[in-house]
Structure 1
Amino acid sequence: MTESNKPRLEVCLSPALLHLYDVKSSIVVIIDVLRATSTICTALANGATKIIPVATVEECVNIGRQLEAITAGERDGKIAEGLKHGNSPFEYSRDFIEGKVMVLTTTNGTKLLHMAKDAVQIVTGSFPNISAVCDYLVAQKQNVILGCAAWKDRVNLEDTLFAGAVVSRIREHFDVSCDSAIAAETMYEASKGDLFEAMKNATHFKRLSNFGLEADIRYCLTADGANVLPVLRNGELVLG
């Protein structure tokens, strides 16, 4: 707790900066808006029993074979070679995913999940589950780090905007004296009227648009389409 008797709310804009934050005394929210954490909450909302995040494609294939699970993931925005499914939330409708296990690997999001393993608790956040995330953080009354997965350690716009949206919603319950949190909130407040338009100059927007994935982007920027709380327990993401 801080001197104000409120817990801290901080934003880590890149995994490369995570070592500067006190992970061991904080809840860490893993943010990978385009598209890992949007897909995670969507799959769980549609009945997936659990999602196992792994770092490599090889792990994904091997564990998927052992568990007869769905193997999913991307590298640089495309389905990773050797996997059957990608990272689009639209792939994981209820009639496909309900009652199944997914093993997932992504370019950025699963890496940060493993880096934050010593946190008090790890949850995943994105616009489709923003209300569930905010409600949980307020109720826990503990220090929070909003951890942006970024893009290969480079700060990205979409994860920063989501972090800013969370700060904007719950700042009254926290001590916000972190410059990156203030910057993220300022960016979100300037962009919230049309997040899709605000994203058009972003590198990841252009990357996914080149693959014809504008519908994915719109979904991933829309609040509460899959409003559940994925929580990491024993290395598996399950409904909180």
Structure 2
Amino acid sequence: MNSKPTLHTALSPALLHLYDLNHAIVVIIDVLRATSTIATALHNGAKCVIPVDSVAKCIELGRQIDGITAGERDGMIAEGLEHGNSPFEYPRDFIYNRTLVLTTTNGTKLLHMALDRGAGQMITGSFPNLSAVCDYLVSQNQSVVLGCAAWKDRVNLEDMLFAGAVISRVKDHFSINCDASQIAETVYHDAKSDLFGFMQAKNASHYHRLMGYGLEKDIRYCLKPDVANVLPLYENGKLIVL
């Protein structure tokens, strides 16, 4: 009998309903850029990050709690918000001890979907906090669903690459009978020596979109392991450092 917990990968929010989230740790993955920015803000001393699914809610809540309202729609700062979704907007001297209210096209939407589907526990993952995520998943000995935010339900490369990076590190501790996980790990092994170069060579859709906005610096940062190595845990409507 196999006593190891299971690990599955949902490559798009549109596939999330196929997985049992009730007793699982769900890892919300939105590498470019929501979960990279969440890790960075918390690493730089933010009190917490409150993910919301609409711009209106973001503005309203920010006003109520004197928070920093931030977010994007289609890669650009959303109208009515003060700040965008770039990790470089949240240095320690700006974000320390403050609350960030964040809404994004894909990442915060996926988090709320997982919540609605009864996720047992949620953390957020990206390359900047890769080790923290892997260490936590191994220590908990619980089933895991790696949830890729993708782009408007279409599978994207960078979230799959991060899922593959996690799998390659933790697979000995899990029972993995999941083709999506195998695909993610295979692609990661092809890409790991130069993630940015791989995204560039494949003209990945999100790479293409953000490069069009002149955001190469953001992309490179979001693909760099352990530069903001904290573990954001979702608790009572907020992401806090565990």
TM-score for the superposition, normalised by structure 1: 0.98
Q: Deviation of residue 60 (structure 1)? A: 0.3
Aligned amino acid, residue 215 of structure 1:
K
1:210 is aligned, of 209, 212, 230, to 212
Q: Deviation of residue 140 (structure 1)? A: 0.2
Partners of 1:98 and 1:112 in 2: CA distance: 26
Matched, 1:47 2:49: no
Moved over 4 A (4+): none
Structure 1 counterpart of 2:83: 85
After superposition, the C-alpha distances for 1:177-202 in whole angstroms (9 at most, x for unaligned) are 10000000000001101000111110
Gaps of 5+ in 2: none
SS in 1 for 2:155: coil
Partners of 1:199 and 1:91 in 2: CA distance: 23
Aligned amino acid, residue 58 of structure 2:
C
Aligned amino acid, residue 220 of structure 1:
C
Partners of 2:175 and 2:236 in 1: CA distance: 30
Gaps of 5+ in 1: none
Structure 2 counterpart of 1:177: 177
Partners of 1:38 and 1:141 in 2: CA distance: 25
Structure 2 counterpart of 1:122: 122
Identity in percent: 66
Partners of 1:71 and 1:197 in 2: CA distance: 33
Structure 2 counterpart of 1:75: 73
Partners of 1:209 and 1:115 in 2: CA distance: 29
Q: Deviation of residue 213 (structure 1)? A: 0.4
Structure 1 counterpart of 2:138: 138
Structure 2 counterpart of 1:189: 189
Structure 2 counterpart of 1:11: 9
Task: Give the count of matched residue pairs.
Answer: 238
Q: Deviation of residue 226 (structure 1)? A: 0.1
RMSD over aligned CA atoms reads: 0.5
